[in-house]
């Protein structure tokens, strides 16, 4: 695998696609300027766009996700599932542990840490299906809906662009590692340089920049809150900026080192540190309650999965589906093409069946572990009256509530420090994969053994870090969040194109054998 060095005589860095580079940088500037100069008007416009999409096209997201699951399960179990990426003699570049860790960290990010411990509060106070707030029924729905949103559907959404891009990249030898590679069969002779190809890649990159900006914008205040508690200093705007600057510096160094020395090692460290933290919470916390509640939630989700997937709330129209389920499906869809690019790069030597079902298994199990341990621990504190988690969230925010939950444990300060470490490494691994994906997309030609130039990866690491810094300064993180969801709408049709291109390529290649 070529890790190109600046100025290396042995191998020149892959050439940058200047047209694509200029398009994306110009789009970032055009987005940031209106948000900074007219934040109120921009917020209203994006909110209007998001409301229109969720209210009028929300059912499209739900039906699309149902069809997607059926399609990928059928593909994985068919004869095409045995196709090995890179050829029948290809072997994986990474161990199962490292591969699973990298795809998990890329697909979740540090926001999982915050939501896993606190998302149940929203459903506990405002449960779905007409349940009474804070009732036994509300508790069951509260424990189940978070894992449902971060479970199998999310990872099936990620799997579609992954196998579509990977198949064309490895089997068809398309020399471009970008979202449009998944649609290559339909793009015509110009491929990713066609107007449609440029459009697909631009939408994917903008969605990723907004999504990673939102992730860092969400986790930054959490890390800042924890740091302020540990250091005994006020949680100021300056501290938030210092935290974000440190995170940007860390993942810029990691992405400079590359896949093997940087991203892989950080992902391995992140998985180990997170497991240690969760095992400690499980061991010293309400172990029996966590185990029993987790088991109950698994059965509850399984028995209600179809109902939760297809519930549109047409009669009472409480807005629950639009605010939560459609929000999450749109979130994963917006991220999916770029996650597909990164997972493609690390998946050579694996079969389509392995990629599909391993992504769903490892991804869902990892997310559920966080929700089952941290979420049920917080739920126990609330139900037993040991810590008023709901009231703290109402009076303060979820960051303060989660901080006090962890401090309630034995050696709480040490647990909080470990949580801060996991948070920093999580956001770093997310940005590593994002920067790698952005650099790959804006590289003119990239073969299976090549990586984008180091300066190129570092540039996108810094560029993606500047956006959340700017947005926190102007107070517009909600604008980015809504913008990402609006960007997910065209990605739905991008996914349809990828599915069509994949099926056509599989049939053509199978007929030649």
Q: What is the pLDDT of residues 481-505, one digit of tens each?
A: 566 677 788 889 999 999 999 999 9
pLDDT of residue 349: 94
In the block, which residue shows the tokens 């005589």? 9
Q: How confident is the model at residue 8 (pLDDT cuts 50, 70, 90)?
A: very low
pLDDT of residue 410: 95
Residue 55 or residue 254, greater confidence = 55
Supply the mean pLDDT for the chain. Answer: 84
pLDDT of residue 2: 45
pLDDT of residue 150: 96
Q: How confident is the model at residue 510 (pLDDT cuts 50, 70, 90)?
A: confident
pLDDT at 6 over 50: no
Q: How confident is the model at residue 5 (pLDDT cuts 50, 70, 90)?
A: very low
Q: How confident is the model at residue 11 (pLDDT cuts 50, 70, 90)?
A: very low
Classified as helix, coil or strand, 429 is helix
pLDDT of residue 257: 64
pLDDT, mean of residues 44-56? 76
pLDDT at 53 over 70: yes
Helices (H), 285-411: 287-310, 320, 326-345, 352-370, 376-383, 389-395, 398-407
Name the token pair of 129.
């299906």
pLDDT, mean of residues 452-478? 66
pLDDT at 278 over 90: yes
Could you tell me the CA-to-CA distances from 56 to 216, 293, 484 in Å, in that order? 30, 36, 17
- 316 burial level (CB within 10 Å; 0-12, 13-18, 19+): exposed
pLDDT, mean of residues 247-274? 69
pLDDT, mean of residues 12-27? 78
Name the token pair of 117.
């411990």
pLDDT cut 70: percent of the chain above it? 85
For 396, which DSSP code? Answer: S
Q: CA 73 from chain center: how many Å?
A: 21
Classified as helix, coil or strand, 232 is coil
In the block, which residue shows the tokens 């739905």? 492
CB burial of 208-233 (b: ≥16 within 10 Å; e: otherwise) equals bbbbbbbbbbbbbbbbbbbbbbeeee
pLDDT of residue 175: 83
pLDDT, mean of residues 210-218? 66
- Tens of pLDDT, residue by residue over 376-410, are 999 999 999 999 999 999 998 888 999 999 999 99
Distance between the two ends of the chain, CA-based, in angstroms? 30
| Contact status, residue 60 vs residue 329, Cβ threshold 8 Å | no
Residue 13 or residue 176, greater confidence = 176
pLDDT of residue 166: 95
| Contact status, residue 478 vs residue 49, Cβ threshold 8 Å | no
- Tens of pLDDT, residue by residue over 112-136, are 888 999 999 999 999 999 999 999 9
The structural domains of the chain, with segments of one domain joined by +, span 41-311+318-506
Could you tell me the CA-to-CA distances from 485 to 115, 162, 236, 335 in Å, in that order? 18, 20, 29, 10
**Statement: 41-311+318-506 belongs to CATH 1.20.1740.10:** yes
Residue 230 or residue 9, greater confidence = 230
- Tens of pLDDT, residue by residue over 63-95, are 999 999 999 999 999 999 999 999 888 999 888
Name the token pair of 287.
């172990």
pLDDT, mean of residues 273-290? 95
- Tens of pLDDT, residue by residue over 332-368, are 998 898 889 889 988 999 999 999 999 999 999 999 9
pLDDT of residue 3: 44
- Tens of pLDDT, residue by residue over 133-162, are 999 999 999 999 999 999 999 999 999 999
Q: What angle do CA 221, 286, 280 make, to 5 degrees?
A: 60
């Amino acid at each position: 695998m070529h890790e190109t060095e600046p100025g290396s005589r042995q191998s020149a860095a892959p050439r940058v696609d200047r047209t694509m580079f200029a398009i994306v940088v110009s789009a970032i500037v055009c987005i940031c300027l209106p948000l900074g100069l007219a934040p109120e008007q921009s917020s209203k416009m994006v909110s209007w766009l998001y409301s229109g999409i969720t209210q009028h096209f929300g059912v499209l997201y739900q039906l699309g996700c149902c069809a997607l699951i059926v399609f990928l399960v059928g593909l994985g179990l068919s004869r095409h599932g045995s196709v090995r990426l890179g050829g029948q003699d290809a072997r994986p570049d990474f161990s199962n542990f490292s591969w699973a860790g990298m795809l998990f960290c890329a697909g979740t990010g540090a926001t999982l840490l915050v939501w896993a411990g606190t998302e149940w509060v929203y459903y506990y106070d405002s449960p779905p299906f007409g349940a009474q707030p804070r009732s036994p029924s509300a508790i069951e729905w509260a424990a189940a809906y978070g894992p449902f949103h971060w479970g199998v559907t999310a990872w099936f959404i990620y799997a579609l662009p992954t196998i579509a891009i990977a198949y064309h990249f490895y089997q068809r030898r398309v020399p471009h590692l970008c979202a449009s590679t998944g649609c290559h069969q339909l793009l015509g002779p110009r491929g990713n340089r066609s107007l449609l190809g440029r459009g697909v890649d631009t939408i994917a990159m903008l969605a990723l920049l907004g999504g990673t900006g939102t992730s860092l914008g969400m986790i930054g205040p959490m890390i800042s809150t924890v740091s302020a508690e540990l250091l005994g200093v006020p949680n100021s705007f300056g501290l938030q900026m210092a935290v974000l600057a440190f995170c940007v510096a860390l993942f810029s160094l990691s992405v400079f080192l590359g896949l093997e020395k940087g991203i892989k090692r950080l992902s391995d460290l992140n998985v180990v540190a997170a497991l240690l933290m969760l095992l400690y919470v499980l061991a010293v916390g309400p172990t029996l309650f966590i185990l029993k509640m987790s088991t109950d939630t698994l059965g509850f989700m399984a028995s209600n999965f179809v109902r939760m997937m297809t519930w549109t709330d047409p009669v009472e129209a409480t807005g629950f589906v639009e605010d939560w389920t459609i929000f999450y499906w749109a979130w994963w869809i917006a991220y999916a093409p770029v996650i597909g690019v990164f997972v493609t790069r690390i998946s050579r030597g694996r079969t389509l069946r392995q990629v599909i079902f391993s992504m769903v298994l490892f991804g869902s199990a990892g997310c559920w572990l966080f929700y089952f341990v941290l979420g049920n621990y917080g739920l126990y504190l609330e139900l037993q009256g040991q810590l008023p988690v709901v009231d703290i969230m109402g009076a303060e925010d979820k960051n303060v509530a989660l901080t006090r939950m962890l401090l309630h444990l034995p050696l709480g300060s040490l647990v909080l420090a470990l949580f801060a470490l996991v948070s920093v490494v999580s956001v770093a691994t997310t940005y590593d994969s994002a920067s790698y994906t952005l650099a790959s997309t804006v590289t003119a030609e990239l073969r299976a053994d090549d990586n984008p130039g180091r300066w190129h990866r570092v540039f996108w690491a810094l560029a993606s870090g500047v956006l959340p810094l700017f947005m926190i300064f102007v107070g517009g993180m909600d604008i980015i969040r809504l913008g990402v969801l609006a960007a997910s709408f065209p990605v739905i049709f991008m996914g349809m194109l990828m599915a069509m291109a994949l099926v056509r390529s599989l049939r053509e290649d199978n007929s030649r054998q």
